[in-house]
Structure 1
Amino acid sequence: MNRFIYQININFKRIILRNKRFFLFDMMLPIVFYLLYSKVLVTGIPQTDLKTWQMNYLISMIIYSCLLGSIITVANTLLEDKTSHFDILSQLTPLPRWQYYLSRILIFLLLNLISSIGICLVGIFVNNLTLSITTWSLIILITIIGTVPLIFIGILISLANNPATVNMLNNLLVFPLAMISGLWWPITMMPKWLQSIGKLTPTFELSNIDQSILHGKIIDNQYVLGIILWLVAIGTTTLLITKYQKYKELDIE
């Protein structure tokens, strides 16, 4: 257990404390979007509806920040571990391989927690949004749990083992996913066929769960089941590909 905690401590320092890209990209980009669409580009929104819009868009930017951190940061970090041979160093420790990934998943969840709290503070201090501590905490907690399937997507992308391929997959997945799931603008603005696709995404399902908590509504079990199915599907695929790559390496040797 002490070795596992030591590994978590090392990963915390190198992935979060020394990772300037996290603060500049995963946090600042969603904050800029939030300030732009909740404070500047609000012409035409009635004053009575402005607070609701600011709160709803805050939820979207929290999830968008976690989307960036869970896929792009995860994929790039794990790829850097491989290119710098840090993963080989980890393999030489007495810890089993699953703890290598578990220690990183915990750090990535912490990274998402930090970004979520940061964006919430912007909403509180800039737009004077007021919610009970229980509601704020529940929204953040559910969001962090709901990002686990996204983290597995990031792990899956990192298995491409090629920087160009990983960057291409990140761009092909993250930004279209943010658009069609309604994080950048309401999903109702898109064509019906695109709405049908967007409603199947984990980010749309997570957004609806958070919106239900925000407005005191009953959470639709359909969205909870959807996230669970995403987790099982992506987790199983990642496990199978990891085992296949390991078998292939052993076969080559």
Structure 2
Amino acid sequence: MTERPYVLLSCAMSVDGYIDDPTPERLLLSNAEDFDRVDEVRASCDAILIGSNTIRRDNPRLLVNSEERRAARVARGLPEYPLKVTLTGSGDLDGELKFFNTGGERVVYCPDRALTKVKTNLGDRADVVATGETLDFGIMLDDLGTRGIRRLMVEGGSQVHTRFLTEGLADEIQLAIAPIFVGGGGPRFVNDGTFINTFRDRMRVAEVTTVGDVVLVRYIPTKAKLGA
């Protein structure tokens, strides 16, 4: 049986747990040093996943920005960029968005009912994989494993992080906590949900460090894979 990738959830949030505010402009919670740290983590991973809601809202490229880090990946026999991954239940994806037109290969996961719509919208910009009647995260991870993905970085948004945590599919959480309060109205790191014991129990704090004015905390669930 193919091994699923190690799943690392990455998120920047305010002290009161928000990842954005209700204004149209994107709230930047990280600082320059933390953005560089995230770039380094991206470069260390085989794939980066982001939800379709976040793609529509923020129109990110989701790249490794450092030329040196990309060159180091190539020197190790890896693609210049990690595989870019997204998932959609509705199939409402615009092929003109930056995610689908900038560096690296792309794969999109969707339920059977959205397969034709996604292929029509994206053409040859991405490999599209159906996961059955529902958007099945287990099937997605199994498929990524068959593609040689050993380390998957998940950058949100809230719905995606919540699914990984409520289904017990995350091996590590990296939270960058910015020294501000949002005060309400925006999305949070996770939504309400029924979290399994792996995450309801006290997690292990693997690291606490400052990155400029941001505090980075790494959590390891009690039953996460060894070697974290």
Between 1 and 2, higher relative CO (CA 8 Å, sep ≥ 6) is seen in: 2
More strand as a share of residues: 2
TM-score w.r.t. the length of structure 1 is 0.24
Larger Rg: 1
More helix as a share of residues: 1
TM-score w.r.t. the length of structure 2 is 0.26
